[in-house]
Amino acid sequence: MPIATVNPATGKTLETFEPIAPAEIERRLAAAHAAYGHHRTTSFGERSRLLRRAAELLEEDTESIARTMTTEMGKPIKAARAEAAKCVKAMRWYADHAEGLLADEHPAEADVRDSGASRAVVHYRPLGVVLAVMPWNFPLWQVVRFAAPALMAGNVGLLKHASNVPRTALYLEDLFRRAGFPEGCFQTLLVGSDAIEDILRDHRVAAATLTGSEPAGRAVASVAGDEIKKTVLELGGSDPYLVLPSADVEQAAKTAVTARVQNNGQSCIAAKRFIVHADVYEAFRERFVAGMRKLTVGDPLSEETDVGPLSSERGRADLEELVDDAVAHGATALCGGQRPTEQERGWFYAPTVLADITPRMRIHREETFGPVATLYRVDDLDEAVALANDTPFGLSSNVWTRDEADIARCVRDLQAGGVFFNGMTASHPGLPFGGVKRSGYGRELSGHGIREFCNATTVWHGPAE
């Protein structure tokens, strides 16, 4: 895949980039290794000062970087601005909290004595150079949620971004440089996916984090496993959205529209499978379909647009194949199900709701990366939970209910990294984020995220003489 900025609203290639040469990769690896030797010794106060400056600069750059993201991958400009603001928030959160999150831990005195020590403490120390393989769908946020905690912990970063967002990738390197981080602390590698293995195997790279597809996760994890290097993987998701009898149906349906089409439906944590109890099914279906029909599809740079194009022609073709397969096997398109006729150029797809889904259909098992929802009717909570778990993924989940017994059951039995009640899944710097099953392993954000790439070092002192 060429490294290029291609406007998905028009299909026009705006700029292409040559991959950096092997000699330049070597230079950057050496710079990262050297930078880590210094950066790991700096104080939290110094790191915090630099990260706050990066947040200030990003805040100032919001409009320009928002337009860059929209032009490169098609998200509505309003969503792009919100993404930049979220990154600013995360940077400031880690600048404020990192020192406390990585504070020394003191084991219980009884355990210290029982170990034969006069004293013992656990220190958190950075691992080193971390390779980040990042996706195009949230081209700023996915990187910042790795970079902010990693840099605050004393690690340094190498970014291999998706090949269709090179301008955003280069902006991120420039952002941290302008903020004052020393050379080598954060670098963008404009390389193809074929270069990842050699970089990851390099002895100067200590660990890797990847957000992306399941095949990409398998590839990176297998290489890292062979090298015995730590990885964090955040992969696909096919999140269930349960609507139970005690739900506020009107609010559930309104939120469901946003939960499905956020980022043009191209989000791992977007709700995708809408599992609705028979008692409220008709009321929910009517409101949900009406809400999806009202969405404005069009130029993502327009303030009026709700849903922009998919990021690539291949992405739209993959989505069409899933929808066509479902319809061929008996699914009913309650709205959408085709390209919008008013869009002559670009990779647009109409917001779609499919009902009458069966296990014979690919869409029942595969992730839909676009504004397509599948709607299921169930007779009780047992059926709802079983259907919610009938997926190879387990990233997040949403449940609408006022019943405490329903809440307790869903917390206990839903197989997901998160359960969001009476709202849609969202990430926050103070809450751990990640999945189970084929959605990956490890956690980002919060204290869990910053400690993923730290060495918990036990320091033991023998009896005092």
Active-site residue list:
234, 268
Scanning 228-277, the segments in alpha helix (DSSP H) are 249-261
Question: Computed from CA positions of residues 70, 76, 77, 78, in that sequence, does the dihedral angle turn out positive or negative?
Answer: negative
Whats the size of the chain, residue-wise?
465
Question: CA geometry: angle at 343 spanning 339 and 344, to 5°?
Answer: 100
Burial 194-221 (b: 16+ CB within 10 A, else e): ebbbebbebeebbbbbbbbebebbebbb
d(CA 343, CA 298): 7
Beta strand 372-378 with 271-277: parallel, antiparallel or unpaired? parallel
Edge-to-edge order in the sheet of strand 372-378 = 332-335, 352-355, 372-378, 271-277, 239-243, 398-400, 420-421
Beta strand 352-355 with 398-400: parallel, antiparallel or unpaired? unpaired
Question: By CB neighbour count within 10 A (0-12 exposed, 13-18 middle, 19+ buried), where does 318 fall?
Answer: middle
CA atoms within 13 A on the CB side of 33: 12
Residue 149: closest CA among 169, 127, 134, 178: 127
CB 55 within 8 A of CB 95: yes
For the chain, what is the radius of gyration of the CA atoms? 23
| H-helix or E-strand spanning residue 33 | helix 22-39
d(CA 329, CA 360): 7
d(CA 311, CA 142): 16
Q: Which residues, 6 or more positions from 311, have their beta carbon under 8 angstroms from its beta carbon?
A: 8, 73, 74, 136, 137, 164, 264, 266, 347
d(CA 367, CA 441): 18
Q: Which residues, 6 or more positions from 179, have their beta carbon under 8 angstroms from its beta carbon?
A: 50, 51, 53, 54, 57
Question: CA geometry: angle at 45 spanning 42 and 46, to 5°?
Answer: 50
φ, ψ dihedrals at 160, nearest 5°:
-105, 100
Burial 339-361 (b: 16+ CB within 10 A, else e): beeebeebbbbbbbbbbbbeeeb
